[in-house]
Amino acid sequence: MMVMNSSPRKVSIGKNRALTCSFLSALLVSAAPVAADDLKSAVDRDYPSLAALYQTLHRNPELSSQESETAKRMAQEVRDAGFNVTEHVGGTGVVALLENGAGPTVMIRTELDALPVEEQTGLAFASKVRVKNAKGEEVPVAHACGHDAHMTIWTGVARRLAADRGQWSGTLMMIAQPAEETGTGARAMLADGLFTRFPRPNFNLSVHDTSALPAGQISTVEGTVKSAADSVDIEVRGIGSHAALPQYSRDPIVVASSIVMALQTLVARNNNPFSPAVVTVGSFHGGTRANIIATSVKLQLSVRSNDPATRTVLLDGIRRIAVNQARAFGVPEDKLPIVTIVESTPATYNSPDLVERLIPPLQAALGKDNVLKGEPLMTSEDFAEYGQVEPKIPSVQIWLGAVPAKIFAATADKATLPGTHSPQWAPDAEPTIKTGIITLTSAALELMKK
């Protein structure tokens, strides 16, 4: 179980003026305004407690939609910073508001969930957690996507902006979102009134760690930064038989194999080469014994695209190929494959005007050499959902370097570096977290400056 913070201390300022001044001095040191003390120095002072938080989160990961203890900890962190906190939004989601006069509302999002991955980082605080998933299967759990770093950054940003209210005006909306890895958490929070029960943001911000940059650097992308994703299940049905009597069967393993190979032609021969597209068959399950021809096979696909037209080409093509490959093998019409879209996430779009506005303050905070022009990836996530609500909200997700700088510089082939979703993923915690806090704090201050 995760160790929770105790409730905030109530301090009574009594007659002893020396004691009062001593207490106030200590308080000012721990929460000094950015303008008075320099943002980097303030983050440096705060880092020891943030490092402890990071290690606690890393040791105690929770699967999507099971993040109850993680959500409690995040709620306590922002409550301690002075925010008005609402829990259980869209499941385990947390919404924290800090109103500071007239001005725009800026939303900053983090994710709560971890992945069913067995950690192999060798860290002293590595996760050893095993839990039951939604299907009742026991699985290992690890923060293999860096959400523990994201939550720590989020906490640091909340602390800094709460301590620096004299520099900004408006409403700060910090949200901790469940179930990003399943693509369902943002939709659940929106359905639970995220933009109706609470202020509708004028801007949405987030960061995501990456192995494409060394720790200490960030990159921005104008326009599409991550692709749309569809998870597609195909149930390939057939007629079972004894393995020695194949003539009586319509073998679904053979049909499914043919479908897998034919699906690759969608990108190679049906899609416009200038429109990015991916069709990956990530799971193929069928059969029970060597001497039994199965009655069904289940395929699971991940489909990526950047625009609606490409998405239509891919999804229509998957149905066409699955059904007609089965027909070619003589599968009866009443046993043709069943194709189901089980999850969908839109493309993550960075508003170009907002990116352009944020680059100067980010360069001022981090140095021009550390703010790069990035490249879009075919990964996806549901931060995109917040910017799609009409009228659309200007949104930006910033790539956050997380590889130790020396290792990054010494690695000729960057593709060999462990990346997110790898059991070896281990961000260089201190520079990654500090850079993330400076990035989001600087961006928020630019958008809400007086």
| Tens digit of each residue's pLDDT (9 = 90 or more) over 137-155 | 999 999 999 999 999 999 9
Rounded mean pLDDT of the chain? 92
Q: Round to whole Å and give the CA distance between 400 and 379.
A: 15
Task: Report whether pLDDT(37) > 60.
Answer: no
Residue 209 has pLDDT above 50, yes or no: yes
Please give the average per-residue pLDDT across 409-413, as a whole number. Answer: 93
Quick check: 371 pLDDT over 70? yes
CB atoms inside a 10 Å sphere around CB 15: 6
DSSP states along 53-103:
HHHHHHHS--BTT--HHHHHHHHHHHHHTT-EEEEEETTTEEEEEEEESSS
- Whose CA is closest to 55, among 148, 134, 131? 148
pLDDT for the residue 450: 85
d(CA 285, CA 235): 10
Q: How far is residue 378's CA from residue 306's CA, in Å, rounded to a whole number?
A: 8
At 418, the pLDDT band (50, 70, 90 cuts) reads very high
What is the rounded distance in angstroms from the CA atom of residue 116 to the CA atom of residue 269?
35
384 touches 225 (CB < 8 A): no
Tokens at 80, concatenated: 């301690």
Q: Which one, of 115, 177, 132, lies nearest residue 383 by Cα?
A: 177
Distance in angstroms (rounded) separating the CA atoms of residues 337 and 255: 10
Which pLDDT value is given to residue 9?
36
Distance CA 358, CA 361 (A): 6
Instruction: Retrieve residue 127's tokens.
Output: 């996760």
228-345, what's its fold?
Answer: Alpha-Beta Plaits (3.30.70)
Instruction: Tell me the pLDDT band of 25, cut-offs 50, 70 and 90.
Output: very low
Q: What is the pLDDT of residue 4?
A: 41
Pairing of strands 105-111, 130-132: unpaired
Alpha carbon 247 to its chain's center? 49
Confidence band, pLDDT 50/70/90 cuts, at residue 223:
very high
User: What's the rounded mean pLDDT across residues 412-427?
Assistant: 94
**What value does the mean pLDDT take over residues 359-374?**
96
Domain positions in the chain? 35-226+347-448, 228-345
pLDDT single digits (tens) 296-348:
999 999 999 999 999 999 999 999 999 999 999 999 999 999 999 998 999 99
pLDDT tens-digit profile of 39-71? Answer: 999 999 999 999 999 999 999 999 999 999 999
pLDDT tier, 19 (very low <50, low <70, confident <90, very high otherwise):
very low
Alpha-carbon gap, residue 396 to 398, rounded angstroms: 6
The CATH code of domain 35-226+347-448 reads 3.40.630.10
Strands 218-220 and 395-403: antiparallel
Q: How confident is the model over 243-267, as pLDDT tens digits?
A: 999 999 999 999 999 999 999 999 9
Q: What is the pTM of this model?
A: 0.86
Residue 6 has pLDDT above 90, yes or no: no
Tokens of 355: 């990116």
